[in-house]
Chains A and B, each alone.
Chain A
Amino acid sequence: MAHQEGVVADADDSGRVSLMNDPKARGLVFQVLLIIFVLFLVYSGVTNAIDNLARAGIASGLGFFGERAGFDIGQSFIPYTNDSTYLRAFFVGLLNTMVVAIIGIFFATIIGFIVGLARLSKNYLVQKFATVYVETLRNIPLLLQLLFWYKAVLSILPSPRQVGLEPGAEVVFSLNNRGLYMPRIVPEAGASLILYAVIIAIVAWVFIGRWARKRQMATGQQFPVFLTGLGLIIVLPLLAYLVTGMPLSLEYASLQGFNMVDGWVVQPEFMALLLGLSLYTASFIAEIVRAGILAVSHGQSEAAFALGIRPNLTSRLVIVPQAMRVIIPPLTSQYLNLTKNSSLAVAIGYPDLVSIFGGTVLNQTGQAVEVISITMLVYLTLSLLTSAFMNWFNSSVALVER
Chain B
Amino acid sequence: METLPTSIRYVRTEESPTTAPPVSTGGAMGWLKVNLFATPRDTVLTIVTFLFLLWIIPPIIDWAFISAVWTGESRDACIGPGTGACWAFVEAKFGQFIYGRYPIEERWRVNLSGLLLIAGLVPIAIPSVPYKRENALYLLVVFPVLAFILLTGQFGLEPVETPLWGGLLVTLVVAIVGIVVSFPLGILLALGRRSEMPIVKMFSVIFIEFWRGVPLITVLFMSSVMLPLFLPDGVTFDKLLRALIGVALFSSAYMAEVIRGGLQAIPKGQYEAANAMALTFWQGTRLVIMPQALKLVIPGIVNTFIGLFKDTSLVLIIGLFDLLGIVQQNMNDPNWISPATPATGFVFAAFVFFIFCFGMSRYSAYMERRLDTGHKR
Contact = CB atoms under 8 A, between A and B. Distances in A.
A135 B353 CA distance: 12
A122 B279 contact: no
A344 B213 contact: no
Nearest to B48: A126
Chain B contact residues: helix, strand, loop or mixed: helix
A27 B200 CA distance: 9
Interface stretch (A136-144, A199-207, A290-298, A322-330): A136-144
Q: Indicate the member of A44, A152, A384 with the most B CB atoms within 10 Å.
A: A152
B199 interface: yes
A53 to B, nearest CB: 7
A7 B36 contact: no
A376 B218 contact: yes
B324 A1 contact: no
Contacts of B353: 139-141, 144
A148 interface: yes
Given A123-B42, A147-B324, A344-B314, A368 B229 contact: yes
A52 B233 contact: yes
A30 B197 contact: yes
Interface in B204-253: 210, 212-218, 221-222, 225-226, 228-233
Given A4-B281, A123-B35, A148-B343, A346 B317 contact: yes
A379 interface: yes
A372 B222 contact: yes
B275 A124 contact: no
A341 B215 CA distance: 7
Interface string A48-92: 110111010000000000000000000000000000000000000
Interface string A24-49: 00010011001100100000111011
Contacts of A384: 213
Contacts of A121: 45
A379 B196 contact: no
A6 B275 contact: yes
Interface in B305-349: 306, 310-311, 313-314, 316-317, 324, 328, 331, 339, 342-343, 346-347, 349
Contact of A48 (B197, B229, B343): B229
A346 B217 CA distance: 9
Instruction: Determine which residue in B216, B226, B357, B361 has the highest number of CB atoms from chain A within 10 A of its CB, and name it.
Output: B226
Contacts of A144: 313, 324, 346, 349-350, 353
Contacts of A347: 316-317
B346 A340 contact: no
Contact of A31 (B197, B233, B324, B358): B197
B25 interface: no
B144 interface: no
Contact of A139 (B221, B314, B357): B357
Contacts of A122: 35, 38, 42
B346 to A, nearest CB: 4
B354 interface: yes
Contacts of A383: 212-214
Interface string A346-385: 1100000010001000100000110010011001100110
A343 interface: yes
Contact of A1 (B195, B215, B328): B195
B6 interface: no
A172 B286 CA distance: 69
B67 interface: no
Contact of B354 (A6, A139, A153): A139
Size range of the chain A interface in the assembly: 35 or more
B221 A143 contact: no
B46 interface: yes
B213 A6 contact: no
A343 B217 contact: yes
Nearest to A366: B225
B197 A27 contact: yes
B272 interface: yes
Contacts, number: 186
A135 B331 CA distance: 27
B50 interface: yes
Interface in A151-166: 151-153, 155-156
A123 B229 contact: no
A31 B196 CA distance: 11
Contacts of A151: 331, 342, 346
Given A144-B346, A148-B346, A34 B203 contact: yes
B281 A3 contact: yes
A347 B198 CA distance: 41
Given A123-B35, A156-B342, A340-B214, A3 B197 contact: no
Contacts of B49: 123, 125-126, 129
Contact of A52 (B229, B274, B331): B229
A123 B339 contact: no
A20 interface: no
B280 interface: yes
Contact of B226 (A1, A155, A340, A368): A368
Nearest to A382: B213
Contact of B214 (A34, A49, A141, A380): A380
Q: Residue among B215, B280, B284 with the most chain A CB within 10 A?
A: B215
Contacts of A6: 274-275, 278-281, 283-284
A5 B281 contact: yes
Contacts of B217: 343-344, 346, 354, 358
B252 to A, nearest CB: 16
A125 B36 contact: yes
Given A48-B231, A156-B339, A347-B317, A368 B225 contact: yes
A248 B194 CA distance: 60
A147 to B, nearest CB: 6
A38 B200 contact: no
B46 A369 contact: no
A379 B213 contact: yes
A49 B50 CA distance: 62
Contacts of B311: 141
A328 B361 CA distance: 23
A369 B229 contact: yes
A399 interface: no
B295 to A, nearest CB: 20
7 contacts: A1-B271, A34-B203, A48-B230, A48-B232, A52-B233, A144-B324, A148-B347
Instruction: Please name the 3 residue pairs, one residue from A and one from B, whose CB atoms are nearest each other, closest first.
Output: A139-B357, A152-B343, A124-B35
Interface of B: 35-36, 38, 42, 45-46, 49-50, 53, 194-200, 203, 210, 212-218, 221-222, 225-226, 228-233, 271-272, 274-275, 278-281, 283-284, 306, 310-311, 313-314, 316-317, 324, 328, 331, 339, 342-343, 346-347, 349-350, 353-354, 357-358, 361
Given A49-B229, A53-B229, A383-B213, 4 more contacts: A2-B275, A122-B42, A380-B214, A383-B212
